[in-house]
Chain A
Amino acid sequence: MSHKVVIPIGPYHPLQEEPELFRLYVEGEKVVDIDIVIGYMHRGIEELSEHKHFDQVAFLVERICGICSTSHPFAYVNAMEDLAKIQVPERALYIRTIIAEMERIHSHLLWLGLAGHFIGYNTVWMWAWKYREPVLDMFEMISGNRNHYAMMKVGGVRRDIKDQDIPVLKKAIDELVPAVDMFRGAVMDDPVIKARLKGIGILTKQQAIDWCVVGPTARASGINIDVRRDDPYGVYDRVTWNVILEKDGDIFAKTKVRILELYESVSIIRQCLDKMPKGEIDANIKDIPPGEGIGRVEAPRGECFHYVRSDGTNRPVRHKIRAPSFMNVASNKVAAVGGTISDAAITLAAVDPCYCCTERLIVLDKDSYRKLMNGWDLIKLSQAKTEELKKSISSRQSQI
């Protein structure tokens, strides 16, 4: 007898730190449909923004998400500078770019760690987060805080990078490269990880277009978009770097894109530290004229979009915030369907969901709504699948 069974993941399970509800409907082992319920993170930030003046908004939007905490203020200041046609000093643009790329590094390492845990490679988790720490130390050195660095300001940046800190930064960045080499080797060449992630959670190119996904999720499916190249901001058009593109659309492709982007980020930071000119870091903006502006940045998860409308007072009349995960998480509707329950956990995590950006898993029997599994069970299933694969691969190898 086949009956549809619904598997919820969430809202509270330990590895997906934010509360989120995914209801997976399964028939036997296969996921046939998915309901995504968000809203657990909703704090009414767009409305709050209308009551803050423009300087305060930068602090408010920073707290939309802790991981991409500089992407939102960056997109916001870009929107304001578009609105008021503000010229930002050169040095500020370089500093902004350096901070943004450091954030990309810490975010991708964070994701790598979580993904490793989801498939049972806890060593990957520990090592990825261990190598993340020096990046956070660098943030603390520059801005005073490991997270929520409060660097972005309309017209410039809040703090300068001191000359004596530049060699320290360069050294820390250089020390990351062997670590990334290690991850690349460990992840890309491991037959078990390949077997575990290849062909899983595929988002085809057409699906990626129809769901308008962004970031590494899009680039892994062959969609050649990157805001840093397409709609340049900061100094991305003055340094040399590559957009990483894959075509398979599976989780392995998404992982590969993120790992290879780490190298590009290191290269961009190095070039910025070398080329950064001396000078002012703040245009000292006093007034904002009425109008509307759009700013966007390539956050670690994809395009982060802000729209601001002003009526000439010192507060926004309307502030629209669209985080990348708003588009990407919705695409799980097609990416997770057709897969198995044991792949569900990693598929949902593969878009690098930042629920707090978007707003934020159970298995139920479809007819009786009896709960069969929770998120913790699903992660265990995922880790168990990896163990099975390990055994079958090593037994095949020993037969050769």
Chain B
Amino acid sequence: MNLKLKALTKSIWVFHAATSPCNNCDIEVLDLLTPRHDVERFGIVLVGSVRHADALLVTGVPNYKTKERLKNLYSQVPKPCLVAAIGNCACGRIMFKDSYNSPCPVDEVVPVDVYIPGCPPKPEAIIAGVVKLIQKLKGKK
């Protein structure tokens, strides 16, 4: 595994990019920081600026207003960057795929490394997804 990717597996700084979610996935992501789950002890930190991020956690369905912003955000993140699509909406748009305001799913805007389905995925599922991501990286030796 190249040095850059290896560095990522020590402590992942994540940026939460919401496209147009119902907010449940976002709340469960924030929930990870609270005492019951407390992911900060694993070194997973939520950052305020996309330029400090190692990973993008994307929720929601991209619409015309947020599609460009997501592209923008992705271009600003220092590479290598991992992208996790969190929730059924980000994975595949589910019931919003026929909406006049939903042009495409997340993986047609940015490349996705891990899909974490659920509506919303439980915090344990999100942690499991991130762990799988880290293992995937480690496996790329």
Contact = CB atoms under 8 A, between A and B. Distances in A.
A and B touch in the complex (CB under 8 A): yes
Interface of A: 11-14, 17-19, 39-45, 47-48, 51-52, 59-60, 63-67, 69, 110, 113, 125-126, 129-130, 133, 145-148, 354-356, 360, 374-376
Contacts of B122: 146
Nearest to A11: B69
B69 A59 contact: no
B47 A356 contact: no
Interface residues of B, number: 41
Given A12-B18, A67-B23, A376-B48, A130 B36 contact: yes
Interface in B23-71: 23-31, 34-36, 46-50, 61, 63, 65-66, 69
A18 B19 CA distance: 8
B91 interface: no
Contact of B21 (A47, A113, A130, A356): A356
Contacts of B96: 43-44, 48
Contacts of B46: 14
A44 B16 contact: no
Given A59-B95, A130-B34, A356-B22, A39 B47 contact: no
B76 to A, nearest CB: 11
Contacts of A355: 23
A89 B98 CA distance: 35
- 6 A-B pairs with the lowest CB-CB distances in the bound complex, closest first: A66-B24, A376-B48, A17-B26, A44-B99, A129-B34, A66-B23
Given A43-B61, A148-B119, A356-B20, A66 B25 contact: yes
B60 to A, nearest CB: 8
B135 interface: no
A59 B22 CA distance: 13
B6 to A, nearest CB: 27
Contacts of B34: 113, 125-126, 129-130, 133
9 contacts: A13-B48, A18-B23, A19-B20, A19-B66, A42-B63, A48-B96, A63-B24, A65-B23, A147-B28
